[in-house]
Structure 1
Amino acid sequence: MEFFSSLHQAQTSDEIAVKERIVKELLAYCNTGEYAALGTDFVPEVFVEPSYARRCRIVPPRELPRRRRLRTAEDLALQVHAILHIEYSAIDLALDAVYRFPEMPLAYRRDWLEVAEDELRHFRMLEKILEELGFRYGDFPVHQGLFDAGVHTAGDVLERMAVVPRHYEATGLDVNPRIVERLRSRGDLPGAEELLAALETIYREEIDHVRKGDHWFRRVCAERGLDAEETFFEILERYRLRQGRGEVLNVEARREAGFACSELLRLGAVECGE
């Protein structure tokens, strides 16, 4: 099996079914004896545009339609589409985490293929809700912020683990409960109950994704003789990533995902039980 060319195909295709098939094949391949012969001298391609560029109109974040109060089915569809786009981006980022860093061990590759598998399932759940509301992925404009984050961290797995799972995905853990709270007040909207159920599944599984990123971040720090906490904050500063505010930081979920209390207090948490 051409492991890296299959990853390339999955990552550049805009067909979710293609991504699903290849992820399933690659996970099976990782459990065969043939995998042991896979080399690490592969040189990954630098991608110049996200795979969804053929399906979506990409605009600067300031030009995205404003998400209004949830009054109509279209308001809800806009919210679903925004989350769906995050999940699509997360699929490709998980695939890229395997494709981009061939020096990483089997356990790392299996972890991020499993993350890709989860993100694909999340996409399918949300896509079904969106289509039942009368819309399809690509009906609203999107931005490519997560793709850009992948490009910017393409040179170092340590930076990738810090920026994508430990910053962006962890921020998703902060935001998810606020979306759920808004939705609970509009359970009368078609699709609202289904979206609540999907968000609960996504929330639970995203904690595991952040935990995997935390594990590999700390492991690479240890291998390089670096202090994990100081290195994380140095990377946040280097990328000018806004730190969380205490009133919105999801301390419980972040702790479950591996964050230390000392980190969370520096991020702005008001308190953190040891």
Structure 2
Amino acid sequence: MTLARAIRDVLTTADPRRKVKLARSAARRWRRGDLDHAFDVAMPDAPGRPREPELLPPSRMPRRGKGGSERGRIALLHALAHIEFTAIDLAFDMAGRFGCDFPRGFVDDWMSVGADEAMHFALLDRRLRSLGSRYGALPAHAGLWEAAESTAHDALARLAIVPMVLEARGLDVTPATVARVEAQGDIATARILQRIYTDEIRHVGLGTKWFEYRCAEDRIDPETSWQKLVKRYFRGQIKAPLNDSARASAGLTRSYYDSLVR
């Protein structure tokens, strides 16, 4: 089995539990040296998706509130589970689509990220089930894969947008969410979110590391290049307030994003 074929199996699998299992297995087999470092098959244009949840455009997504009630907490957990489910594919696609253009350590890093995202999804889905729900019970955001589609041709753009914008946003909002669910007495959910937050600092750091590596190879300024790529490929806005300390610990300093904050 080659690395690319193992990654493709993860990406094309629609069933959530099987995707988690394959993701963990692929990361473990790569770490053990059981997969050939070969890119002999192309990555799919889009990953497999289960019949549920129903995917809606952002304008049609119901407002979920701040999780004050059990119903609100289920909506919050479901939205986060969908983000982590999509993040499994984003990480494995990063390794499979662009790994041939980077040193082996690039694959090491993004396979480990994929395993983290699979674990995050499993934790959130288990928590949903403990509250009498499940992943797929509510509608979910249809636009999360768009960042992958728009940057499928450009590793530098993918690194700029997915870890350094989308995951970095998690660093901004998660601490307040953790504090809120703790105040509501939901310690189990708070612990899961804190674990995800800690891992996401590492993920953003890996994105920054490999972005700067490629910029050094291409002899271009990383901060100016990142700003140009964000303006071109990111449809939203980088909104204050930002978690500057967590971003800085991931190497994403204010000099990257200060001029783009709204």
Q: Please report the TM-score for the alignment, with normalisation by the length of structure 1.
A: 0.87
Cα displacement string for residues 88-135 of structure 1 (whole angstroms, at most 9, x for unaligned residues): 011110011112124233211111110011111111111111111111
Q: Could you tell me which residue of structure 2 aligns to residue 119 of structure 1?
A: 117
Q: How far apart are 1:40 and its partner, in Å? A: 4.4
Q: Structure 1: how far apart are the matches of 2:33 and 2:115? A: 22
Q: Does 1:62 align with 2:55?
A: no
Q: Does 1:263 align with 2:256?
A: yes
Q: Structure 1: how far apart are the matches of 2:120 and 2:161? A: 21
Q: How far apart are 1:18 and its partner, in Å? A: 3.0
Q: Structure 2: how far apart are the matches of 1:34 and 1:205? A: 25
Q: Structure 2: how far apart are the matches of 1:165 and 1:139? A: 28
Q: Structure 1: how far apart are the matches of 2:259 and 2:79? A: 29
What is the aligned counterpart of 1:105 among 103, 120, 124?
103
User: Contact conserved, 2:12 with 2:44, CA < 8 A, in 1?
Assistant: no
Label 1:13 to 1:266 Cα distance change in 2 as closer, same or farther (>3 A).
Answer: same
* Letter of the structure 1 residue corresponding to residue 225 of structure 2: T
In structure 1, list runs of 5 or more residues that go unmatched.
270-274
Q: How far apart are 1:73 and its partner, in Å? A: 1.3
Q: Structure 2: how far apart are the matches of 1:135 and 1:72? A: 14
Bigger mean CA offset, 17-26 vs 218-227: 17-26
Alignment of 1:43-54 (within 5 A): 43-47=42-46, 50-54=47-51
Q: Could you tell me which residue of structure 1 aligns to residue 15 of structure 2?
A: 15
User: Contact conserved, 2:23 with 2:114, CA < 8 A, in 1?
Assistant: yes
Alignment of 1:80-159 (within 5 A): 80-103=77-100, 104-159=102-157
SS across alignment from 1:44: coil
User: Contact conserved, 2:4 with 2:39, CA < 8 A, in 1?
Assistant: no
Q: How far apart are 1:38 and its partner, in Å? A: 3.3
Alignment of 1:99-248 (within 5 A): 99-103=96-100, 104-187=102-185, 192-246=186-240, 248=241
Percent of matched pairs sharing the same residue: 34
* Letter of the structure 2 residue corresponding to residue 223 of structure 1: E
Q: Structure 2: how far apart are the matches of 1:133 and 1:249? A: 31
Bigger mean CA offset, 129-138 vs 69-78: 69-78
* Letter of the structure 1 residue corresponding to residue 242 of structure 2: L
Q: How far apart are 1:41 and its partner, in Å? A: 5.9
Q: Structure 2: how far apart are the matches of 1:180 and 1:34? A: 38
SS across alignment from 1:217: helix
Q: Please report the TM-score for the alignment, with normalisation by the length of structure 2.
A: 0.91
Q: Could you tell me which residue of structure 2 aligns to residue 251 of structure 1?
A: 244
Q: Could you tell me which residue of structure 2 aligns to residue 272 of structure 1?
A: none
Q: How far apart are 1:21 and its partner, in Å? A: 3.8
Cα displacement string for residues 27-67 of structure 1 (whole angstroms, at most 9, x for unaligned residues): 344356675x63446433322xx423422111111111111
Q: Does 1:27 align with 2:21?
A: no
Alpha-carbon RMSD across the aligned residues, in angstroms, is 2.1
User: Contact conserved, 1:69 with 1:75, CA < 8 A, in 2?
Assistant: yes
Label 1:32 to 1:235 Cα distance change in 2 as closer, same or farther (>3 A).
Answer: same
In structure 2, list runs of 5 or more residues that go unmatched.
none
Q: Does 1:73 align with 2:67?
A: no
User: Contact conserved, 2:227 with 2:260, CA < 8 A, in 1?
Assistant: no
Q: Could you tell me which residue of structure 2 aligns to residue 2 of structure 1?
A: 2
Q: How far apart are 1:69 and its partner, in Å? A: 4.3
User: Contact conserved, 2:11 with 2:92, CA < 8 A, in 1?
Assistant: yes
